[in-house]
Structure 1
């Protein structure tokens, strides 16, 4: 009887161990089955990425931005925002729905979600780089616009000064011209010392703390100047507009410095250009999955 009970007890223990050993692989198989659907969503994302001509980013980021290149950069931005990232969102949402009941499979899911996060960070970096390139193009266009506006107002000043001289307002013309010359010398000296600073942060600080306040002071000074001649009053208005265009110019210069600094921190050679470039982030998870599966073989 004791022998029979002993045999029965051994059988029950074996059955219990067998039951436990089947529970984990079942949970794992459910995870792997769902993972196939997740990877299918990832494949759709990769296909979308491959259809976007990201390889041209290498050349576009180096060349002067002609209209054609500007359009190409804008198109890349639109494709990333409207096509690639929505596909990635679908993939990420599917990954978050992976079933995980046991602690072991929960760890696997957590590891997989880390790979998804790594891929998102890479695409975010790519998106940031393209945005910065577009911002750089826009800022350079603005600088050109403000430069032309400055020259336009300077030309008008010269015309009105000439009219003032012809009208016989020589003393007022002389005082006004001298004021502008003094302003320009001071501004040129301050601006050159600021922009030529090799420390970019110091250059940016110099624009906001020295150049901009100086221009503001010169505008206020011109507004307070007592002028009787109609022609010189018109020249003063032109001068104020000229200084406003200078303010916008230097604000944009400061912006371009900030953009350049951010761009310099991104190694565009390492940015993903094809879906396959994201596959390396799967390796750690795949190794972990294979280790878990090996324990049940």
Structure 2
């Protein structure tokens, strides 16, 4: 009787183990089937990376920015944002829907989502790099524009002063010229303190705590200056506009410092330039996946 019971129990136990094995195999097949769909999304993602020709980033980021280069950089940025990022989102969404009902598939999904997270971080670094490069281009163009505007207003100041001198307004002219000369001397001395500094923090602090407050003060002083001659008054208006250009120049200068600091945090060599560059993130998953797959074969 005991032998019969023992045989029956062993038989039941073997049936239970067999059922569990079949269930695990089914869950893995479901996971594997969905994984194929996810990988098709990744294939689309890789194709977009290849189609964008991101390898050009290496050349563009090392050369002076011409109009043609600027246009190409802008096109790269647009393609990354409008084509690559949506494909990345689709891929990530599909990966998160991987079924995970057994311990094996739960671990596999966790490992795979980790690789997706790393791919996303790499592509976001790529996006940030192209965005920052274009911001740097725009900021440098703005600096050039503010410099030109400063020079334009300076020329107009000189022209109005000359007209006032020709009209015989000696007192107004001399007082105004003296004030401008003093202002320029103060600004030059203040700006030169950190002009050659390679410490971006010190340069930023100098702009915020010394240069900008000084320009504000000089604008207020000019507004309070008593002037009777119309030409000198026009010169004052242009001088104030000149100082506003300086303010914008230094504000944008701070912006370029911020952009440079952010760019320094990104290693351009590590950015994915080809679809196959994403494959290195799959190493852990592939190893784990193959081990689980062999267990069900």
**Smaller-chain TM-score range?**
over 0.9
Aligned-pair Cα RMSD in Å: 1.1
User: 1:79, 1:106 → 2: CA distance?
Assistant: 35
Residue of structure 2 equivalent to 1:15: 15
Is 1:231 the counterpart of 2:226? The answer is: no
Q: Is the 8 A contact 1:35 1:98 kept in 2?
A: yes
Gaps of 5+ in 2: none
Structure 2: distance between partners of 1:221 and 1:33:
75
Deviations along 1:143-164, one digit per CA (max 9) or x if unpaired, are 1100100100110111111111
Give SS of 1:99's match: coil
Task: Kindly state the Cα deviation for residue 13 of structure 1 after the two structures are TM-superposed.
Answer: 1.5
TM (normalized to structure 1)?
A: 0.97
**SS of the residue aligned with 1:54?**
coil
Measure, in 1, the Cα distance between the counterparts of 2:265 and 2:2.
77
Alignment match, 2:4: 4
Find the counterpart in structure 2 of residue 180 from structure 1: 180
Counterpart for residue 280 of structure 2? 280
Please give the residue correspondences for 1:125-274 in structure 2 after superposition, counting only pairs within 5 Å: 125-274=125-274
Aligned length, in residue pairs: 297
- 1:58 aligned residue: 58
Equivalent residue of 2:75, what SS?
A: helix
The 2-side partners of 1:4 and 1:102 are apart by 34
Give the stretch that moved more between structures: 229-238 or 100-109.
Answer: 100-109
2:31 maps to 1:31: yes
Check whether the contact 1:196–1:203 (CA below 8 A) recurs between aligned residues: no
- Give the C-alpha shift of residue 60 in structure 1: 0.8
Residues 45-66 of structure 1, C-alpha deviation per residue, up to 9 Å, x if partnerless? Answer: 1111110021111111111211
Give the aligned partner of residue 115 of structure 1: 115
SS at match of 1:195: coil
Instruction: Provide Cα deviations, 1:57-112, integer angstroms capped at 9, x if missing partner.
Output: 11111112111111101100110111111111111111111111113211211111
Of the structure 1 ranges 83-92 and 21-30, higher mean CA displacement relative to structure 2 is found in 21-30
2:107 aligns to what SS in structure 1? helix
Distance 1:169 1:36 in 2: 86
Q: Please give the alpha-carbon distance, in whole angstroms, between the structure 2 residues aligned to 1:240 and 1:151.
A: 13
Q: Secondary structure at the match of 1:48?
A: helix
Deviation at 1:23, TM superposition (A): 1.7
Cα distance, 1:197 vs. partner? 2.2
In 2, distance between residues paired with 1:138 and 1:278?
Answer: 31
> 2: distance between equivalents of 1:286 and 1:293?
10
